[in-house]
Structure 1
Amino acid sequence: MSINHTLKTQPVTPAHVQQEVKLAQRNLANSTPKENTTPEKGTDVKLSALTQHIKADSPRDIDMERVEKIKDAIRNGELKMDYDKIAQALLQNILDDR
């Protein structure tokens, strides 16, 4: 082993440059149209009546009258916050998720 012998080194490319190059290559590969592709066969999905009902957008989901009352209370500085109740609900939510 020779101490005076050194290997030629190449400069190090910063990681963010390498990532940008890989991302550009991936985007280029994904953007080119693929030839001779066959259409994929789909799967028929039938939703239950309850799921269809839930999926349907209904204005009854939000009580707009109550929303307006809350907005007015906030604007007028009349909204009373029960911080203990909020904190208790947050803690209960955390415990329920475990």
Structure 2
Amino acid sequence: MVPVALALAGSGLRGPTVAYIGWFGPRGLASVVLALLLLEEEHVQGVELMARVVAVTVGLSVLLHGVTALALADRYGAWHEKVRTTGAGAPSR
């Protein structure tokens, strides 16, 4: 989540939006891409172990995101609606 927050610094997005994007961000895809790059290398030792670690990481990511998706989407949607209708949480200028 920290790299996502750093990448979005200066974007003007509010904290809850950055956190939401960070939680549901591209973690699993990045792991798969890095694993595929490693598989192409012939000199890397422990490729099988790394492949298992990536598979577990992606599996846990799918599980955790699936379990939390509905609750976090509802929470974020409620926050967004509140900000949209009342202006609460708007940055002070």
TM-score (ref. length: structure 2): 0.26
Quick check: which has more Rg, 1 or 2? 1
User: Higher helix share goes to which structure?
Assistant: 2
TM-score (ref. length: structure 1): 0.25
Higher normalized contact order (CA 8 Å, seq sep 6+, divided by chain length): 2
